[in-house]
Amino acid sequence: MACLYSTACVYALTALNLAIYAIPLVIVAYLVIKQAIKAPIRTWVPLLVFFGVFLLLHGVNELIGPDSIMGLIYILAGVK
């Protein structure tokens, strides 16, 4: 149980999480890009939607983070 709080274990779990999350996305992006290069412009639309959803998923984390919420509260309160 002490491993869960060590820096090495945290980095290992983070790397594992990133690998599990990123590898399917890279495969899907490769297949979509490979198909889009061979096909007409209408096949670029799913590619753009894919990247839009990908960026949205990463952007939502920034929007709901504690620092961003606090910053938004300060801005709405008029603090300079």
Contact 32, 45 (CB under 8 A): no
Amino acid at 18: L
The sign one gets for the Cα dihedral 20, 26, 29, 35 is negative
Higher-pLDDT residue of 80 and 72 is: 72
Report the pLDDT value the prediction gives residue 61, as an integer from 0 to 100. 63
| 21-71 tens-digit pLDDT | 788 888 888 887 787 677 677 767 887 888 888 877 776 666 666 666 677
The domain tally of the chain equals: 1
Report the pLDDT value the prediction gives residue 11, as an integer from 0 to 100. 79
Domain residue limits at 71: 2-77
- Listed residue (29, 47, 28) closest to 39, CA to CA: 47
